Structure formats: structure tokens, C-alpha cells
């Protein structure tokens, strides 16, 4: 294995000469990216830390959500810079930087109970690290596979981020049960830094001239036309802004529930509420993979339409489920996992749209620009949910109705998207 030391992204490309030609490292890169996202998925366990922070630090109201909201926003806008870094210097360097930043953010937060320190540590540094790490995982994996597998590969890589709470929920519960918040943050930060930086070394681009086998002439032709699209070009396209608004709605509505599911579950599950978080994470990860596979077969637009419409229906279902104190825990877990499933679908569909429409050459930066919708949605809609819930005396009804209406509007907007001509297997 030989790593070139110069070139725009050659620093992370690989030349493997063998009698049979280039050895395809696609699955190694894919599962390395999945592993990195498994480590970075700590973001989704914030609802578990909120209670411990309130108890130990005495924070109140919006303070309990601000580091999480700021982290989401910084994460999203960092994706633009990180995407540029990934496109220019390659995934190994970019992902390693992400691991170091996440570690630094957790370590800084572990030194204090001060609100400003946590905003700087968890909100800014961890947000920066998530952006650099997350932006590096998907692009190299997609480059090793043909267009007919775009949805599947994107879904597998990002599934790690959604699946993380399955192990992080019980691990966090154990740490918080035996140690204080600050010690728990220190342990998690060091562990994540080591894991992400280690797996980053496995992220390599194909050698120059490598062409993945294709099963669809349409997909191959589309890719050759769109491969040079740049951010300033896509920003002039109505399709980009349609996708941005729909992403804002789909992601924001999901994060409204994800950020509060632990509090909802505590009404009937008590200290076992972390189980709902973990099961929802399985749905979150499953939605990314299933939606990716389905979109490879029936197209991105129809898959996105179904996801948004089902998510809207689930919001209405969730109203009586969360309103009753006598709701069985299994029903809460079921609804939470289905909402997680549909939310997760967005995280594989929109990178797939990005590749289909605008190619791989500037994929990192192009998706980074589109991903800002996730960050703005994660800031605005959870904050709106918190305000509506507070005004209604702790009821989630008004926030769920608002989310459902937005999701129905988003589903209708999918018919305005120019079909990307996604390949079929």
C-alpha cells in the first residue's frame, strides 16, 4: 500500500498494484466510516445528560438545551469548511482533526460546571469535531462503489451516527450512576479521540482513474454531466433551496422528539428511560439503511415523500401516547423507534441526492452547504418545541401538531423537486 504525498486529495488516495489490478477497499472504508460515526453519535444522548446536569450544576430552562443546540449549529456550518478540507486534503487528515477536536471539547467541559465553559467545550469544540469527522466518512466510501449502490452505502456509513445511542445510552447511564458528570465527560472524550483518530487511518480514496463498475447507463451518464458542480453553482438552483427547506423540516421535526424522548419516557419508565433512547437509535440507524436501499430502487423523491408523510402521521399518533401517564412503556418505545426510523432516513437520502445531482468531485463541500439545513432545523424546531411545551404546561400536543403540519408541507414540496434520475439496481 502506498500513499502519495502530494496532489489535491492524493494524500488520502491509495495505489494497490496487484496481478488482478486495484484491490477494492470499498467495504473497509465503508465500515471504518460507520465506526467513526458510532463514536461521534454522542450528540443523540444529550437527553440523558440533561437530567444529571440539572441536578449537579443547577442549570435551568434553556440552559439545559443550549450546549446541544449550539453544537448542532456549529456541527452543521462546520460541514462547509470540513467538506472543503475533505475534498482538498482527503478524509484521513480531516477525520483525525475531527477526533482531536471532539476529545478537546469533552475534556474542556469536564473541567468545569460553568455554563460558558460548556458552551465553548461541548457547543463549539465538539460541534467542530463532529463536522470534520462526519464530513470525512461518507465521500471516500461512495467513491469506491457504482451509482446503483449510492443509497445503500450512504445509509450504512451514516447509520453509525444514529446507532450510537444503543451502546452510549447504557454506557452513559453507567458512568452517570457511578461518577459525576465531569468525570463521565472526561472518560468519553478520551475514548472517542482514540477511536476516531485510529479509524481515520483506514479512510482512503480510490487511486486516480479508478472507475467503480456500474449497472446503470443512466446513472453513469448523469454522473459524468454533474461531476464538476460547485457550491456557487448549486446555490443558484431552485432544486437546492427546495431540498434545503425540506431537510430543515425533516431533520428539525425529528430532533424535536430525539432531544426530548428521555423526558417523555420518564413519565412511565422512570430510570429505565434510557431504553427508549437506545431502541429509538436502532430505528434511527435502520431508517438510514432501509431508506438508502429503497431509494436505489424506487428513486430518492418517492422515498423522501413517503418518509415525510409517515413521519407526519406518527406525530399525530404521538399526541395521545405522550399525554397519558398510563401509557405502557412498550408503546412509547415503539412510537419513538418509528419516529427515529423516519428521521434517520433523511440522513441517507440527502447525501444521496447531493451525489446524484451534483457529483462527487466537490461532494464534501456541496453536502456541507446543504447540511446547514440540518443545523438550522436542529436549532429552531427543538427551541420552538420547548417554548410550546412550556406554554402548554408540559404538554407536547401543540409542538407535535406544528411538526406534523410542517412535515405535510415538506411532503408536498417533494413534487417540485426535479427528479435526479437515481439509478436502479
How long a stretch of residues is the chain?
Answer: 425
User: Using CA atoms, how far apart are residues 380 and 69, in angstroms rounded to an integer?
Assistant: 9
**Are the beta carbons of 282 and 167 closer than 8 angstroms?**
no
pLDDT for residue 272: 65
DSSP string of 13-35, one letter each residue: B-B---TTSSPP-HHHHHHHHHH
List, for residues 139-150, the tens digit of each pLDDT value: 999 989 988 899
- Give the pLDDT score at 361: 83
C-alpha cell at 234: 448549486
> Which three cell numbers, joined as nine digits, stand for 212?
467503480
At residue 210, the pLDDT reads 75
Name the residue ranges covered by the structural domains of the chain: 24-205+215-416
Q: Which CATH architecture has domain 24-205+215-416?
A: Up-down Bundle (1.20)
Of 342, 182, 330, 179, nearest to 258 (Cα)? 342
Instruction: Give the span between the Cα atoms of 254 and 273, in whole angstroms.
Output: 18
Q: How many whole angstroms separate alpha carbon 370 and alpha carbon 103?
A: 26
How many Cβ atoms sit within 10 Å of the Cβ of residue 224? Answer: 10
Question: What's the half-sphere exposure (Cβ side, CA atoms, 13 Å) at 385?
Answer: 27
**How many helices and strands, by DSSP H and E, does the chain display?**
18, 0
Cα distance from N-terminal residue to C-terminal residue, the chain: 32
Which stretch of DSSP H or E encloses residue 386?
A: helix 363-391
pLDDT of residue 23: 72
306: enclosing H helix or E strand: helix 300-323
What pLDDT does residue 250 have? 93
DSSP 152-183: HHHHHHHHHHHHTHHHHHHHHHHHHHHS-HHH
Residue with cell 483525525: 96
Q: How much is the pLDDT for 227?
A: 57
DSSP letter, residue 119: I
SS3 of residue 3 by DSSP? coil
Read off the pTM. 0.80
Residue among 273, 362, 333, 375 nearest 50 (CA): 273
Helix, strand or coil, per DSSP, at residue 59 = coil
pLDDT score recorded for residue 362: 87
* CA dist., res. 203 & res. 137, Å (int): 7
Which stretches of the chain drop beneath a pLDDT of 50? 1-10, 16-20, 214-226, 420-425
pLDDT in tens, 67-78: 888 888 899 889
Amino acid at each position: 500500500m502506498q500513499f502519495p504525498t502530494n496532489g489535491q486529495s492524493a494524500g488520502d488516495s491509495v495505489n494497490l498494484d496487484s496481478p488482478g489490478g486495484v484491490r477494492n477497499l470499498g467495504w473497509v472504508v465503508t465500515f471504518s466510516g460507520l465506526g467513526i460515526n458510532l463514536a461521534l453519535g454522542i450528540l443523540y444522548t444529550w437527553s440523558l445528560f440533561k437530567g444529571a446536569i440539572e441536578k449537579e450544576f443547577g442549570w435551568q430552562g434553556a440552559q439545559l438545551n443550549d450546549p446541544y443546540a449550539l453544537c448542532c449549529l456549529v456541527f452543521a456550518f462546520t460541514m462547509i469548511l470540513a467538506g472543503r478540507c475533505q475534498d482538498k486534503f482527503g478524509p484521513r487528515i480531516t477525520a483525525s482533526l475531527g477526533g482531536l477536536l471532539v476529545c478537546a471539547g469533552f475534556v474542556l467541559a469536564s473541567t468545569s460546571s460553568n455554563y460558558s465553559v460548556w458552551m465553548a467545550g461541548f457547543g463549539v469544540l465538539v460541534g467542530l469535531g463532529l463536522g470534520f469527522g462526519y464530513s470525512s466518512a461518507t465521500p471516500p466510501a461512495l467513491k469506491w462503489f457504482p451509482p446503483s449502490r449510492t443509497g445503500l452505502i450512504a445509509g450504512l456509513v451514516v447509520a453509525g451516527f444514529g446507532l450510537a445511542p444503543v451502546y452510549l445510552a447504557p454506557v452513559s447511564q453507567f458512568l452517570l450512576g457511578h461518577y459525576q458528570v465531569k468525570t463521565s465527560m472526561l472518560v468519553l472524550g478520551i475514548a472517542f479521540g482514540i477511536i476516531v483518530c485510529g479509524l481515520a487511518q483506514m479512510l482512503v480514496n480510490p487511486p486516480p482513474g479508478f472507475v467503480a463498475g456500474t449497472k446503470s447507463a443512466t446513472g453513469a451518464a448523469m454522473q459524468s454531466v454533474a461531476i464538476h458542480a460547485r457550491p456557487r453553482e448549486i446555490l443558484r438552483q431552485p432544486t437546492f433551496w427546495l431540498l434545503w427547506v425540506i431537510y430543515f423540516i425533516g431533520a428539525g421535526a425529528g430532533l424535536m422528539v430525539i432531544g426530548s424522548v428521555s423526558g417523555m419516557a420518564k413519565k412511565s419508565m422512570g430510570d429505565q428511560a434510557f431504553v427508549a433512547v437506545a431502541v429509538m437509535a436502532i430505528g434511527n440507524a435502520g431508517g438510514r439503511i432501509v431508506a438508502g436501499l429503497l431509494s436505489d430502487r424506487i428513486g430518492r423523491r418517492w422515498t423522501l415523500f413517503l418518509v415525510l408523510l409517515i413521519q407526519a402521521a406518527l406525530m399525530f399518533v404521538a399526541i395521545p401516547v405522550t399525554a397519558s401517564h398510563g401509557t405502557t412503556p412498550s408503546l412509547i418505545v415503539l412510537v419513538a423507534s418509528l419516529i427515529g426510523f423516519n428521521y434517520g432516513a433523511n440522513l441517507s437520502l440527502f447525501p444521496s441526492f447531493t451525489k446524484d445531482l451534483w457529483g462527487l468531485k466537490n461532494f464534501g463541500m456541496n453536502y456541507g452547504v446543504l447540511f446547514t439545513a440540518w443545523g438550522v432545523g436542529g436549532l429552531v424546531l427543538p427551541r420552538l418545541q420547548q417554548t410550546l411545551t412550556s406554554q402548554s404546561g408540559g404538554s407536547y400536543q401543540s409542538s407535535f401538531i406544528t411538526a406534523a403540519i410542517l412535515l405535510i408541507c415538506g411532503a408536498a414540496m417533494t413534487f417540485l423537486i426535479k427528479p435526479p434520475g437515481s439509478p436502479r439496481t
